[in-house]
Each structure stands twice: as C-alpha cells, then as structure tokens.
Amino acid sequence: MKRILVPTDFSEQAQYAFEVAVTIAKRTGAAIKLLHVVEMPYSPSFSATGDTIYNDNMEQVYMMRLLETTKGNMARLMNKVNHAGVDVVQDVDVDSIVGKIKRVVAEDNVDLIVMGSKGSSGMDEFLIGSNTEKVVRTARCPVLTIKQHQPDFEIKEIVLASDFRREISKAMDAFKFFQQLFGARLHLVYINTPGAFESSTNLRSKLAHTAEKYGLHNYTINVYNDTIEEDGILHFADDINADMIMMATHGRTGLSHLLSGSIAEDLVNHTSRPVLTYQI
C-alpha cells in the first residue's frame, strides 16, 4: 500500500478517519492525501484550477474568504492529528465531491480511501443517500468507512460477510491484506434467510471451499440465521464483538440500485463499526 486518500469536510468523523489513515500509513509506509472539496455551481467567471477569471468582485471576495477559511481548517486538522513520520499532502478544489474523488483515485493510483461518515436514514437516505455511500458504490479501490473515534484502531476480529456465489477474488486480496496487516482473525459468515434458505451443511461446505480456494488462515466458518442479510451481519458482528466488517459491493447505479439496493451501502449507513468495502 502506497497511497491513501482521506476526503475531509472538517467534521469530527472526518478527523477520526484521518487518525485511522495515519495509523494505517505508519504500518504500511503509505503517503496520505488530505482532500477537501468545495461544492458550488460553476459559472463562466470562475475557474476551479485557481486561474482567476472573475467578472464579479463580490464573487472574487467570497472565493478568497472561502479559500482562507479552508486553509485555516486544514491547518487546524493537521495540528490536531499526530502524523509525525507520515507524508501528508493537502489538496483543496472546487468540484463535485464524488467526481473529484474518482479522478484522484485514478490519477494518483490510490490504494485505499478512508472516509468519515455520519450515516443517513429515513427520507434523506432514500432520496439522496450520503456522499460516503456514493463513494462506496463507485470507487475503484477499497473504501474504509469510520464513524466513531478509534484511538488505537486495533483490529483483532473481522467479519467477512458474503453470499460466496460471485467471484470475489480481487476483493479477497484486499481483505486478506487487512487481515494480515493487523494479525486479525477472519470470520466468514453466510446469513441464512427465510427467502433464500439453504442447509447449514451445504453452506459450511461452500465456505470451507472459499477458504481453501483463497488460501485463508486464522479463520472461522459461520452460518447465521436472521430475517434479512443486513440484520444478520449486524447481529453476528455484535455477537463476536467484531472490530471491523468487510464486504464486497456490486456498485450498481441508477434505477438498478434504487430497486435492489446494496447490503454493503446499508451497512455503511447503519453500523457504528468500521466497514471496509470493495466494488466488484
């Protein structure tokens, strides 16, 4: 792992994400890019590249003050988090948040995004979701979502939930990396629901085959019964007091996503535990 991207809106959750990214960077030697994106409508008189082509003095004053405030917020965030020994660069841009993140991932060959999230629920979630959810759905690299303060970020027990039907080899490489990075125990779990019930014997055999196929070590095999997959994953994680949940996501968008949703994105919104997602 060489490059970690940390988008920030200067919230408490974003600071928690920066702290976690620093911990991972110290373990891996990775560099961090701390990114803040100002979302605002483009106009013919504004250039996001920094070239001033202003036609309106009020717009120029507003943007100058906004950039000054942003630089001050960046400086305070850097001072709050002990990042000694870690290469941290700052980037501020005017763009769409998700669009900018996707470009940085591609241009910088980012290996991991670490994002803070407050989550979303109810009508807000149904209508727009969160920026974190959108990044989880579209990012071409693993996304680690942080909601709570993680002063030590010691990962010992990891839940890996899947239907183990689709090809997840690319995601599995990322999951194995995190397991090995922290020396954690991996708990493979299949959530058995009334609508898609299978015998425990068949499911355990399927999970054992997955573990053998990907050369897993230090793992357990689990079949957990619940009404829906998301609840089952959350309840299982509670039962074993998991430090992290890992899942692959299908990355659907538009009408397909609206109709089918994604368990991984729901988990990002509804659990307080760190969640590592990978789009397949």
Which three-class secondary structure state does DSSP give residue 120? coil
pLDDT at 252 > cutoff 50: yes
Q: Which two tokens stand for residue 280?
A: 């397949």
Q: What is the pLDDT of residue 167?
A: 66
Q: At residue 118, does pLDDT exceed 60? A: yes
- Burial label for 60, CB within 10 Å (0-12, 13-18, 19+), is middle
Residue 137's pLDDT is what?
82
Whether 36 and 70 have beta carbons less than 8 Å apart is answered as yes
pTM over 0.95: no
Which strand (E) or helix (H) includes residue 260?
A: helix 254-260
Higher pLDDT, 139 or 51: 139
Q: Are 116 and 136 in contact (CB under 8 A)?
A: no
Structure tokens given for 125:
């979630």
Residue 169: pLDDT band (50, 70, 90) is: confident
pLDDT digits (tens, 9 = 90+) for 19-78: 999 999 999 999 999 999 887 655 444 444 555 444 567 767 777 788 788 889 999 999
Summarised one tens digit per residue, pLDDT across range 255-279 is 433 333 478 878 888 899 999 999 8
d(CA 106, CA 141): 9
* Average pLDDT for the chain: 85
The span from the CA of 220 to the CA of 9, in Å, is 38
Q: Domains of the chain (ranges plus CATH)?
A: 3-146 (3.40.50.620), 157-279 (3.40.50.620)
Question: Rounded to the nearest 10 degrees, how much is the dihedral formed by the CA atoms of 157, 161, 165, 167?
Answer: -60
For residue 255, the model assigns a pLDDT of 41
